[in-house]
Amino acid sequence: MENNQKFNIEITSEHKLLDLHLKETFQYRDLIFLFVKRDFTALYKQTILGPLWAIIQPLFTTIVYTIIFGNLAKLTTTDVAGEYVIPSFLFYMSGNICWEYFQSTLHATSNTFLNNRAIMGKVYYPRLVAPISTALSGLISFAIQLILFFIIVAIYFIKGGSSICLTPMLLLVPLLILQMVILSVGFGIIVSSVTTKYRDLAMAVGFGLGLWRYGCPIAYGLSIVPERYLCPYMLNPMSPVVTTFRYAVFGFGYFNLGQYLISWIISGFVFFIGLILFSRIERTFMDTI
């Protein structure tokens, strides 16, 4: 008997290497927003303070950094030498909120297959929906922290006594946020793809992120890095992000267009490699996870 049935969607593991289902992922945007709501709700569910934790965490981290690295260790809080006055609290908070978003998104995305294996084994949807929703849900907390940060910057600006000034570089902030999304999701899906077979990497992610943090100018200013090591140091893609963010917000600091563009190239390359690996692993991950 001839089968004349026609189907709108055909699910198969056979597809081209560069067929990333981006158009199909966009069609599932309602599911993305549903996952964003789920992730954000689950994060603060059964907590007394709820989303206030998004404010409390960076504040307490910044206070600790100010006391230990600023007052006790007396590390420099300048990215370039000069007669600039920048409140140490703002210096540490600017780096911390950028890093915390990058770290939390990378860590959450690296567990994409492990955390969603139950639903992925029962229901079909483009697998990229999961890491995208993770990055977007993290942006909600980051937006809360960013608003608080700009309020504190405005207070220091109005009060005076600092070198903070408004410049057109402030328009770079959305671009920097986009770069952090691309970089964190890229590294995250690379880790999630590899950990389907090698679980050891999942154990090393937290340790690696802890070391990576101190390889960025967050606890100290860039001026502490010797000139001969500056170029290789800035190959760390998060270093130009942090220093450019401070330059954009405070109106002064360190900005090198060449190094910033290289960080974008690295971010894009990592994201592309992550998509390729993710596309290959998603076909068979249920057999190995």
pLDDT per residue as tens digits for the range 167-200: 899 999 999 999 999 999 999 988 888 877 777 6
> Does 106 have pLDDT greater than 80?
yes
Dist CA 79 CA 216 (whole Å): 12
Beta carbons of 156 and 164 less than 8 angstroms apart: yes
Beta carbons of 196 and 281 less than 8 angstroms apart: yes
Dist CA 283 CA 241 (whole Å): 34
The pLDDT of residue 284 is 62
Residue 214 backbone dihedrals phi, psi, to 5 degrees:
-80, -5
Q: Please, which pLDDT band fits residue 9 given cuts at 50, 70 and 90?
A: low
> Does 7 have pLDDT greater than 80?
no
> Does 45 have pLDDT greater than 80?
no
For residues 221-257, one letter each, b for 16 or more C-beta atoms within 10 angstroms of the residue's C-beta and e for the rest, the string is bbbebeeeeeeebbebbbbbbbbbbbbbbbbbbbbbe
**Residue bearing tokens 């409390």:** 56
> Does 111 have pLDDT greater than 70?
yes
Q: How many CA atoms lie within 13 A of 72 on its CB side?
A: 8
Residue whose C-alpha is closest to residue 195's, from 110, 84, 97? 110
> Does 8 have pLDDT greater than 70?
no
> Does 37 have pLDDT greater than 90?
no
Both structure tokens of 168: 């057109």
Dist CA 258 CA 262 (whole Å): 6
Q: Please, which pLDDT band fits residue 27 given cuts at 50, 70 and 90?
A: confident
Dist CA 104 CA 225 (whole Å): 27
Q: What is the largest CA-CA distance in the chain?
A: 86
Beta carbons of 229 and 215 less than 8 angstroms apart: no
Q: How many CA atoms lie within 13 A of 250 on its CB side?
A: 28
Mean pLDDT confidence for 149-164: 88
Mean pLDDT confidence for 100-118: 83
Over the stretch 240-256, which tens digit does the pLDDT of each residue have? 999 999 999 998 889 99
What is the value of pTM for the model shown?
0.87
The pLDDT of residue 200 is 66
pLDDT cut 70: percent of the chain above it: 86
User: C-alpha angle 280/135/141, rounded to 5°?
Assistant: 165
Over the stretch 46-69, which tens digit does the pLDDT of each residue have? 777 777 888 888 889 999 999 999
Dist CA 134 CA 200 (whole Å): 22
The pLDDT of residue 145 is 93
- H or E element: which one contains 1? none
> Does 118 have pLDDT greater than 60?
yes
